[in-house]
């Protein structure tokens, strides 16, 4: 965890929320070369309401990001069969091996979220827990120029003078990400 006082004075991107969506986004942006700050008002590894089910595309992404082994190693059971109930009728659908995925998983969020956050950090992102983004600062044209953050300990405004990335830069990262196969088109 990065303490608020140890953050850089500016970042290309500030991601709000260090759960599965925010942490995965931060990891991909950091791997694409952006300097990334993730702020999460909650605590690392805190539980949240979810059915926990990962569909094939989610499992595939974890495998591609090199994180599925850690999910398995933590004892997450594999799901080889799903059953859909329509009234009294039950339809069983086996999980067919495809795209390198031979089972589905339903990891606890207390496992999945910090795993992705750790991967984002390992990719170069700074992650600050118990820090809330209170407001965005804009220039006269409406462009974001900074973010007002508040830590769980002491309120403060940070990063002063940080700026959103120019659109050309954002497009470069987007193109970089789009060049990579996602696998979602076949799931
Ligand atoms: C009951 C339920 C069951 C679900 N089951 C499934 C399922 O089985 N499979 C599935 O794929 N999806 C499921 N979903 C959907 C899934 O939870 C969401 O699509 C997914 O969780 C979104 O990603 P997230 O957890 O990163 O976002 P969120 O859960 O929305 O987390 C956002 C984070 O941002 C933080 N945050 C918000 N505002 C600020 C701020 N201003 N400053 C700092 N931090 C902030 C919050 O503290 C929070 O931790 C379910 C949703 C619900 C409600």
Number of compact structural domains in the chain: 1
pLDDT at position 151: 86
For the segment 131-175, what is each residue's pLDDT rounded down to a tens digit? 999 999 888 999 888 889 988 644 444 444 343 444 444 545 555
Which CATH number covers residue 78?
A: 3.50.50.60
On the 0-12 / 13-18 / 19+ scale of CB atoms within 10 A, 60 is buried
pLDDT at position 16: 96
- Determine which residue's CA is closest to atom 9 belonging to ligand 1: 53
Output the CA 35–ligand 1 centroid distance in Å: 23
22, 25, 50, 104, best to mutate for ligand 1 pocket (most atoms within 8 Å of CB): 50
For the segment 74-115, what is each residue's pLDDT rounded down to a tens digit? 999 999 999 999 999 999 999 999 988 999 999 999 999 999
Chain-centre distance for alpha carbon 4:
20
* Whole-prediction pTM: 0.85
pLDDT at position 5: 75
Domain holding 37, by residue range, is: 4-186
Output the CA 51–ligand 1 centroid distance in Å: 11
Output the CA 173–ligand 1 centroid distance in Å: 24
């Amino acid at each position: 965890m990065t303490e608020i006082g140890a953050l850089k004075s500016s970042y290309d991107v500030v991601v709000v929320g260090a759960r599965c969506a925010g942490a995965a986004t931060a990891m991909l942006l950091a791997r694409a070369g952006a300097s990334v700050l993730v702020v999460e008002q909650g605590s690392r590894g805190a539980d949240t309401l979810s059915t926990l089910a990962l569909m094939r595309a989610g499992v595939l992404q974890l495998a591609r990001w090199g994180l599925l082994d850690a999910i398995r190693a933590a004892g997450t059971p594999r799901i080889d069969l799903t059953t859909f109930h329509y009234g009294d009728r039950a339809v069983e659908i086996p999980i067919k091996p495809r795209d390198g995925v031979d089972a589905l998983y339903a990891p606890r969020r207390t496992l999945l979220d910090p795993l992705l956050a750790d991967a984002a950090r390992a990719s170069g992102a700074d992650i600050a827990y118990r820090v809330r983004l209170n407001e965005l600062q804009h220039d006269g044209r409406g462009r974001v120029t900074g973010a007002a953050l508040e830590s769980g300990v002491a309120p403060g405004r940070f990063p002063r003078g940080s700026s959103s990335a120019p659109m050309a830069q954002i497009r470069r990262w987007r193109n970089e990400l789009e060049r990579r196969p996602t696998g979602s088109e076949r799931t």
